[in-house]
Amino acid sequence: MKRTQITLSESEIPEYYLNISYYLNKYLGKLPDPPLNPATKQPVGPQDLSAIFPMELIKQEVSLEEKIAIPDEVRELYKLYRPSPLIRAHRLEKMLNTPAHIYYKYEGVAPTGAHKLNTTLAQAYYNKKEGVKTLIAETGAGQFGSALSLACNFFDLKCHIFMVRVSYDQKPHRKTVMQIYGADVTASPSLKTEFGRKMLQTNPNHTGSLGIAISEALETVMKTKGSKYALGSVLNHVLLHQTVIGIEAKKQMEKAGEYPDIIIGCVGGGSNFAGISFPFLADTLKEKNKTRFIGVEPTSCPSLTKGRYQYDFGDTAQMTPLLKMYTLGSDFVPSPIHAGGLRYHGMSPLISFLYNEKLMEAIAYDQKQVFQAGIDFARCEGIIPAPESCHAIKAAIDEAITAKKEGKKKVILFNLSGHGLLDLNGYDKFLHHSL
Ligand SMILES: *Cc1c(COP(=O)(O)O)cnc(C)c1O
- DSSP strand pairing (262-266 vs 227-229): unpaired
Residue 52's contacts (CB-CB under 8 Å, 6 or more residues apart) are: 218, 221, 228, 229
Closest CA to 122 of 233, 224, 242: 242
Q: Confirm if 86 and 17 have CB atoms less than 8 A apart.
A: no
- Report the residue among 388, 391, 415 best suited for mutation to probe ligand 1: largest number of ligand atoms under 8 A from its CB: 388
Q: Is residue 212 part of a domain?
A: no
In tens digits, the chain (435 residues) has pLDDT values of 689 999 999 999 999 999 999 999 999 999 999 999 999 999 998 888 999 999 999 999 999 999 999 999 999 999 999 999 999 999 999 999 999 999 999 999 999 999 999 999 999 999 999 999 999 999 988 999 999 999 999 999 999 999 999 889 878 899 999 999 999 999 999 999 999 999 999 999 999 988 899 899 999 999 999 999 999 999 999 999 999 999 999 999 999 999 999 999 999 999 999 999 999 999 999 998 999 999 999 999 999 999 999 999 988 888 889 999 999 998 898 887 788 788 889 999 999 999 999 999 999 999 999 999 999 999 999 999 999 999 999 999 999 999 999 999 999 999 999 999 998 989 999 999 887
Closest residue by Cα to atom 14, ligand 1, is 341
Range list of β-strands (E), 172-290: 184-188, 227-229, 262-266
What is the Cα–Cα distance from 55 to 44, expressed in whole angstroms? 14
**Number of domains composing the chain:** 1
Closest residue by Cα to atom 10, ligand 1, is 388
User: Which amino acid, 8?
Assistant: L
Range of the domain at 338: 5-13+70-114+237-431
- DSSP strand pairing (86-88 vs 67-69): unpaired
What is the Cα–Cα distance from 319 to 51, expressed in whole angstroms? 13
Judge if the beta carbon of residue 139 lies within 6 A of ligand 1.
Answer: no
- DSSP letters of 356-418? HTTSSEEEEE-HHHHHHHHHHHHHHH---B-HHHHHHHHHHHHHHHHHHHHT---EEEEEE-B
Tell me how crowded residue 51 is: count the other CB atoms within 10 A of its CB.
12
Q: What is the dihedral of CA 408, 411, 413, 419, to 10 degrees?
A: 70
- DSSP letters of 40-78? T-SBPPHHHHTTTS-HHHHHHHH---SEEEPPHHHHHHH
Ligand 1: atom nearest CA of 388 is: 11
Ligand 1: atom nearest CA of 389 is: 11
Please tell me the predicted confidence (pLDDT) of residue 83: 98
- Report the residue among 167, 234, 240, 271 best suited for mutation to probe ligand 1: largest number of ligand atoms under 8 A from its CB: 271
Q: Confirm if 139 and 181 have CB atoms less than 8 A apart.
A: no
Q: Is residue 24 part of a domain?
A: no
Please tell me the predicted confidence (pLDDT) of residue 172: 87
C-alpha 201 – ligand 1 centre gap (Å) = 31
Residue 245's contacts (CB-CB under 8 Å, 6 or more residues apart) are: 84, 105, 107, 115, 118, 272, 275, 276, 415
Question: CATH number for the domain including 314?
Answer: 3.40.50.1100
Q: Is residue 257 part of a domain?
A: yes
Residue 104's contacts (CB-CB under 8 Å, 6 or more residues apart) are: 86, 87, 89, 396, 413, 414, 415, 416
C-alpha 419 – ligand 1 centre gap (Å) = 11
Judge if the beta carbon of residue 266 lies within 6 A of ligand 1.
Answer: yes
Q: Is residue 340 part of a domain?
A: yes
Please tell me the predicted confidence (pLDDT) of residue 18: 98
- Report the residue among 112, 116, 178 best suited for mutation to probe ligand 1: largest number of ligand atoms under 8 A from its CB: 116
**Quick one: residue 277, left, alpha or beta (phi over 0 = left, psi -120 to 50 = alpha)?**
alpha
Q: What is the dihedral of CA 413, 418, 423, 428, to 10 degrees?
A: 30
Q: Confirm if 109 and 79 have CB atoms less than 8 A apart.
A: no
Q: Is residue 330 part of a domain?
A: yes
Structure letter (DSSP) for residue 342: G
C-alpha 37 – ligand 1 centre gap (Å) = 27
Judge if the beta carbon of residue 220 lies within 6 A of ligand 1.
Answer: no
Ligand 1: atom nearest CA of 143 is: 15
C-alpha 268 – ligand 1 centre gap (Å) = 6
C-alpha 272 – ligand 1 centre gap (Å) = 6
What is the Cα–Cα distance from 113 to 107, expressed in whole angstroms? 7
Closest residue by Cα to atom 1, ligand 1, is 341
Rg (CA), the chain: 20
What is the Cα–Cα distance from 413 to 293, expressed in whole angstroms? 10
Closest residue by Cα to atom 7, ligand 1, is 271
Judge if the beta carbon of residue 418 lies within 6 A of ligand 1.
Answer: yes
Q: Confirm if 352 and 398 have CB atoms less than 8 A apart.
A: no
Closest residue by Cα to atom 15, ligand 1, is 143
Judge if the beta carbon of residue 271 lies within 6 A of ligand 1.
Answer: yes
Please tell me the predicted confidence (pLDDT) of residue 1: 65
What is the Cα–Cα distance from 271 to 408, expressed in whole angstroms? 30
Q: 350 — phi, psi (to 5°)?
A: -65, -50
Q: Is residue 266 part of a domain?
A: yes
C-alpha 143 – ligand 1 centre gap (Å) = 8
Q: Is residue 172 part of a domain?
A: no
Q: Is residue 227 part of a domain?
A: no
**Cis omega (within 30 of 0) on the bond before 279?**
no
